[in-house]
Amino acid sequence: MRRFQAILLAVGLIAAVAVIGVYGFSDISAALASAGWGILWIVLFHFIPLAADMLGWARLFDDRERPPTGPLYLARWVSESVNNLLPVAQVGGEVVRARLVQRRGCPGDHAGATVIVDLTMGLFTQIFFAVAGLTMLVALIGFNGQVGAIVTGIAIFSALIIGFFFAQRAGLIGQAGNAAAWVGRVVKTDSLLAIVGNTQRLDAALHAIYRRRDRLVQCAALRMASWILGAFEVWLGMTVLGHPIGAAEAIVIQSLAMAIRSAAFAIPAGLGAQEGGFLIVGTLLGLPPEAALALALLRRVREILFGLPGLAIWWLMEKRPAS
């Protein structure tokens, strides 16, 4: 598994560098430099969609088991930072946030179940958001071969997410034990199964959460709000880069580029996939390739500037005695 992950990391990094190299490092870096201090505003704005994500996750806890809002927000920040900056598949951060809330006194099975259901709600809402973006794209440019390829990709991605959901309902999450243990070794924390105790308790906690339909709807609504706020981040990014776009274009770029990244979840930080997604969708909308790739790199800069403090917070939270 470690060798396979290292190969994926290398392939993603080579692909990202190659895509940028084709369109010229100097032109793209010049476009990125034009953002100036606007990058700071984008970093600060990201606290808002992160808050929506955290609030959606918080709705899945039993009231008596839910940690305070502050530690929940920090755990969500750490989770995103791990996924974006460490060489793990884009689920390593989920194991970390389950451990962090367990250390705050939440039972391990309940902590693990909330993370799995929150991840599932995030993926389901991403499907709806991607379909909305795809509809807007067709309205803007019509249907062609490239759009057809995106439709096929979203259909496959949707099928995988639906399969993940039914696997939970069928009690098959325990079969992921080896992968969970491997993620735990890479991020230097307990595996998910070590956190939850045993698969029977995890399955029971999952079913209990899924029976609370009102909480699921609230979680989904807040996760969708976060996706929409991410589109505003795209709009803000293109504005500071000197290529202002409309709301529809921002939604198309955010929804489809992030769907492409999510589909490549096995590649650490979506290296190459995210850059390719911004390039494909941006050029379909008529953006210059250099501007689309500058936007992708701007997102990477935001991930680094936002993620490094998140990793520092993780270190501090781990040093604090468990409560």
Q: How far apart are CA 298 and CA 47, in angstroms?
A: 16
Which phi and psi angles does 62 have, rounded to 5°?
Answer: -65, 140
Sole residue written with tokens 């927000």: 73
Look at phi and psi of residue 270 and say left if phi exceeds 0, alpha if psi is from -120 to 50, else beta. Answer: left
Model pLDDT, residue 68: 93
Cβ 164 vs Cβ 262: under 8 Å: no
Each domain of the chain, given as residue ranges in start order, spans 2-319
Model pLDDT, residue 157: 87
Cβ 38 vs Cβ 312: under 8 Å: no
How is residue 13 written in tokens?
A: 């990094």
**Angle, vertex CA 145, rays to CA 142 and CA 146, nearest 5:** 85
Instruction: Tell how far CA 145 is from the center of its chain.
Output: 27
Sole residue written with tokens 């005695």: 321
Model pLDDT, residue 77: 97
Instruction: Tell how far CA 158 is from the center of its chain.
Output: 16
Model pLDDT, residue 268: 74
Model pLDDT, residue 179: 46
> Crossing angle for the helix pair 69-85 and 289-319, nearest 10 degrees?
130
Model pLDDT, residue 31: 65
- Tell me which residue of 225, 207, 228 sits closest to 217, measured CA to CA: 225
Q: Residue-wise pLDDT tens for the chain (323 aa)?
A: 556 556 666 665 676 666 666 555 665 676 677 778 888 999 999 999 999 999 999 999 998 889 999 999 999 999 999 998 887 766 788 989 999 999 888 988 899 899 999 999 999 999 999 999 999 999 999 999 889 988 998 898 888 888 888 777 666 555 444 445 444 454 455 555 666 666 778 888 888 999 999 999 999 999 999 999 999 999 999 999 989 999 999 999 999 999 988 887 777 777 778 888 999 999 999 999 888 988 988 998 899 899 999 999 999 998 887 76
Model pLDDT, residue 160: 86
Cβ 252 vs Cβ 137: under 8 Å: yes
